[in-house]
Amino acid sequence: MRSGAVLFIAALIWLVLGVWGFFSAPALLVFIYYGLVLLPFIVADALVLLLLTDRLSVQRRVAVALALGTRTAVQLVIERTKRKTSFLARSIAVFDIYPDTCIPESGLPNQRGPEGIVFPAKLKRSLLKKYGSLVFEYSVVPVERGQWEFTHTDLLLGSPLGFWRLRVKQDCLSRGRTFPDFKKLAGRAGELRGIPERTGLKKIRKRGQGLDFMSLREYQKGDSVKAIDWRATGRRRKFIVREYQEEQDQQVLILLDSGYRLHRPEEGRSQALPGPGGPLRTQFDSALEASLVLSWAALKYGDSVSIACFGAEKRWLPPRKGMGALSSLMRNLYDLKSAPAPSSLFSALEEALSRLKRRTFIIMISNFREEDGESLSWILKSIGRRHLPLLVSLREAEAESIAARRSAGGDEALESAAAFFYLSARRRLYKTWEHMGLLTLECSSPELSPALINRYLEVKRSGLL
């Protein structure tokens, strides 16, 4: 229990009277009588607040699964526990103990402050007195993936005369998980039926024919003569062509580096979400989102998908197919984070080779450098004979900006030269791998999702796998 505003003012007046009493005898009498009269009211007000005031009860309603960056409503149901045998507090304020991974926002514009809702929020006592309960609603915006927990709710009750305020802790534990907002991720990639027309996904011309027969249809202008089925043409006495589709039931493995190579801020973004308290968004976050979007695309095309993570965290999700596998991927990867820990590309590829039983499209997302050329040379040759590897590296925007700047000389010139040499060595490494028959891809973090899907579709339609 803490003092209220009325007690502070009364104590200030009593103090002023006490100072005045040093210089005037009548003021001293007023000081004594004022204290004697005020003390019973203070004690009685405290007793009523402690013994006769309704403590209320609080229940929280919030979804157990939240989407990253999506506003979600939180409801606090506040009810009176003893309507007939207790008094209602003179003032009631609530403070919900929300997790650090969420930013609160009020549903009412006049309650919104510079950092969202300003707690404690005052409740309307008249509604509680009339109906016995009320619902207080506000919103939270999750800014970090992973598990979250609302621990309890604090109620601040004011005494009838305003001398005291009582803080009451109401235990109402709520737990849940924050997943990547897959609707937004899939929206960036577009619908797969019309995938080329949206958000940077290029339309890839199909080279030759697919590998799986789909159906027969009548010849149309522009069809290749090679596609004509002469037996069906002879039976129906009109030109019939065979229609093929990209081969399905293939296997895709995504190897994701969660170590120091991708544990750096994403270029162009200082925070994951607008607003205070948002965690830094790293290149790993973009790589994880791109992996989920690519998995969605591969599952839509009937392929099986497996995802493995190495570095700071090690996880292996076996190959699964069907759109139901996407939910399993989300449940197992929603809390995955990177850290400045070492990651062994060689060990990750070696473990993948030991687990794979059939030809697989292996996509490794990391940040490859010149020294990887020698350390991975043997295993990449071994992988290239049995599988189809794609080595994906994210651009280092900071190194590119240093290499491109024009400086007069001195230390800046040395930094620019070192950055230019570093980037040139990376490009030579990628060209060496391409001469070995390996696929490579280098792009920025925002371009990763469409670039991966374009390359996946290109592989599917070219029959490389």
Question: Per-residue DSSP letters for 182-221?
Answer: HHHHHHHH--GGGGGGSTT-PPPPP-S--SEEEEEEE--T
Whose CA is closest to 53, among 96, 77, 85, 79? 85
Give the range among 52-61, 78-87, 265-274, 455-464 with minimum mean pLDDT: 265-274
Q: Which helix (H) or strand (E) holds 11?
A: helix 5-21
The structure tokens 């402690």 sit at: 50
Q: Which residue has the higher pLDDT, 190 or 96?
A: 96
The per-residue pLDDT for 410 is 66
Structure tokens at 44: 């009685």
Where does the pLDDT of residue 192 fall: very low under 50, low under 70, confident under 90, or very high at 90 and above? very low
The per-residue pLDDT for 196 is 43
Q: Give the mean model confidence (pLDDT) for residues 225-234.
A: 79
pLDDT in tens, 122-132: 888 888 888 88
Residue 67 identity: A
Q: Which residue has the higher pLDDT, 153 or 463?
A: 153
Share of the chain above pLDDT 70, in %: 85
The per-residue pLDDT for 446 is 86
Q: Which helix (H) or strand (E) holds 122?
A: strand 121-122
The per-residue pLDDT for 86 is 72
Q: Where are the beta strands (DSSP E) in 219-326?
A: 240-245, 251-257, 304-310, 315-320
Whose CA is closest to 168, among 56, 6, 60, 86? 56
The alpha carbon of 280 is separated from its chain's Cα centroid by a whole number of angstroms, namely 11
Structure tokens at 165: 């305020």
The per-residue pLDDT for 153 is 93
Where does the pLDDT of residue 186 fall: very low under 50, low under 70, confident under 90, or very high at 90 and above? low
Bridge-partner residues for 328, per DSSP? none
Share of the chain above pLDDT 90, in %: 34
The per-residue pLDDT for 232 is 80
The per-residue pLDDT for 247 is 57
Is it the case that residue 34 has pLDDT exceeding 50? yes
The per-residue pLDDT for 460 is 85
Among 184-188, 198-202, 220-224, top mean pLDDT goes to 220-224
Where does the pLDDT of residue 175 fall: very low under 50, low under 70, confident under 90, or very high at 90 and above? very high
The per-residue pLDDT for 404 is 76
Please give the CATH architecture assigned to the domain spanning 57-181: Sandwich (2.60)
386-418 exposure pattern, b = at least 16 Cβ within 10 A, e = fewer: ebbbbbbbbbbbebeebbeeeeeeeeeeeebee
Q: Give the mean model confidence (pLDDT) for residues 2-25.
A: 87
The per-residue pLDDT for 107 is 47
Residue 453: exposed, middle, or buried by beta-carbon count in 10 A (0-12, 13-18, 19+)?
Answer: buried
Whose CA is closest to 364, among 341, 384, 334, 335? 384
Whose CA is closest to 243, among 222, 218, 213, 204? 213
Helix then strand then coil, in percent of the chain rounded to 5, is: 40, 30, 35
Q: Give the mean model confidence (pLDDT) for residues 451-458.
A: 92
Is it the case that residue 309 has pLDDT exceeding 90? yes
- Give the count of beta carbons closer than 10 Å to the beta carbon of residue 353: 15
Assigned superfamily of 183-204+246-462: von Willebrand factor, type A domain (3.40.50.410)
Rounded Cα–Cα distance for residues 162 and 167 (Å): 14
pLDDT in tens, 405-428: 776 566 777 788 888 888 888 889
Q: Give the mean model confidence (pLDDT) for residues 163-183.
A: 90
Is it the case that residue 106 has pLDDT exceeding 80? no
On average, the pLDDT of the chain sits at 82
Q: Which residue has the higher pLDDT, 249 or 281?
A: 281
Q: Give the mean model confidence (pLDDT) for residues 362-381.
A: 89
Whose CA is closest to 292, among 272, 313, 307? 307
Is it the case that residue 108 has pLDDT exceeding 60? no
Where does the pLDDT of residue 147 fall: very low under 50, low under 70, confident under 90, or very high at 90 and above? very high
Q: Which residue has the higher pLDDT, 85 or 384?
A: 384
The per-residue pLDDT for 19 is 87
Sequence-distant (≥ 6) Cβ neighbours of residue 220 within 8 angstroms: 241
Q: Strands 146-158 and 92-96: what pairing? A: antiparallel
Where does the pLDDT of residue 212 fall: very low under 50, low under 70, confident under 90, or very high at 90 and above? low
The per-residue pLDDT for 214 is 60
Does pTM top 0.85 for this prediction?
no
**Main-chain dihedrals φ then ψ at residue 171, nearest 5 degrees:** -75, 115
Contact 167, 155 (CB under 8 A): yes
Nearest-5° angle of CA 105, CA 108, CA 111?
A: 70
pLDDT in tens, 385-411: 889 999 999 988 777 777 777 765 667
229-268 exposure pattern, b = at least 16 Cβ within 10 A, e = fewer: beeebeeeeebbbbebbbbeebbbbbbbbbbbbbbbebbe
Rounded to whole angstroms, what are the CA distances from 29 to 33, 42, 452?
Answer: 6, 20, 87
Sequence-distant (≥ 6) Cβ neighbours of residue 228 within 8 angstroms: 219, 239, 240, 241, 242
